[in-house]
Amino acid sequence: MILYRDMKLTSRFPGSSVLLFSAAIIFNNWLLAILVNRSLLTKGGSVSELSAQGQPHTWLFRALDIVSGLLFMAAAYLLFKRHKNMASWRWLVIVTAILGLANIVDTLLPLPCAATVVASCSSPIHLSFNHFSIPSHAYSSTIIGICYVILPIAGYSFAAKHRNKLLQTLSAVSLLATLIFFILLFKESSTGSYTGSATAGYSQEIQMIILGVWFWAWAKDPALISGDGEL
C-alpha cells in the first residue's frame, strides 16, 4: 500500500523531480574542468575561478551556471504551486529558488582573474570594522553560502518526520561539509585574498558534490516533492 502511494505521488510530480535532478548535475559543472581546465582544478582553484575572466572555456562554465540556476528556479516554481499553506516546506522551495537566482547573479559578476594560476591576480578582501571591502562576486556567493546552510537544516527536519534516513544522513553530511568549507574560507580570507587556498578549493568542490547528491535524494522523495506533511 505504501509502495503504491509512493509510486502515485512520484508519477504526479515527475517534472519537478527531473528539474531538480538536472539542476543538481549541471550545478556541478566544475567537473568539466578535468577536461578543459585541469591546471586550475589540480591546483585547488575555487569553482568561481573557472568562470573568471581570461580562463579557458569560461563562457562554458558561465552558461552552465545560468542553466542550473534557471532549472532550480523552474523546479521551485512548480513546487511552490502545491501545498502553499505549509510554511516549512515552502521554506525549502523558496530557498531553492534563491539559490538558483544567486547562482545566475554569481555568474554575471565573475572574478576579474584566477589568483590560483595567475600570479599577478589579486581579489582583495578586508573584513575589519575599519575597512570592509569584498569583491562584488562575493555578495552573491555569500547568499549561495547561506542557502547551503538553510537547505540541509530544513531538509533534515522534514526527512526526520517522514523517516527518510537517506535524506537525513545526507542533510547532516551536507551541513558539516558546508561548515568545514566556511571555516577554511574564513581562514583564507584572513590572509587578505578571496581566492588562492587549495584546501578551500577542494573543500568547496566536495561540498558541491554532496549538495548535488542531497538534491537527488530530495528529487526521489515523494513526500518532499509533494509537500506531504509538516515540520
Top pLDDT among 82 and 110 is at 110
Residue 204 C-alpha cell reads as 568547496
Residue 1 has pLDDT above 70, yes or no: no
pLDDT in tens, 60-73: 999 999 999 999 99
pTM score: 0.82
Rounded-to-integer distance, Cα 213 and Cα 21, Å: 9
The three-point CA angle 132-136-141 to 5° equals 100
For residue 157, how many other CB atoms are within 10 A of its CB? 16
pLDDT given at position 126 = 46
Q: CB burial class (10 A; 0-12, 13-18, 19+) of residue 45?
A: buried
Question: pLDDT-derived band of residue 131, with 50, 70 and 90 as boundaries?
Answer: very low
133 three-state secondary structure: strand
Residue 8 has pLDDT above 90, yes or no: no
pLDDT in tens, 76-99: 988 887 765 666 678 889 999 999
pLDDT given at position 124 = 55
Rounded-to-integer distance, Cα 53 and Cα 25, Å: 24
What mean pLDDT is predicted for residues 177-182? 90
- Give me the residue spans of the domains in the chain: 2-115+123-226
Segments of 122-171 assigned E as strands = 126-127, 132-133
pLDDT given at position 118 = 80
Rounded-to-integer distance, Cα 57 and Cα 231, Å: 43
Residue 126 gets which letter from DSSP? E
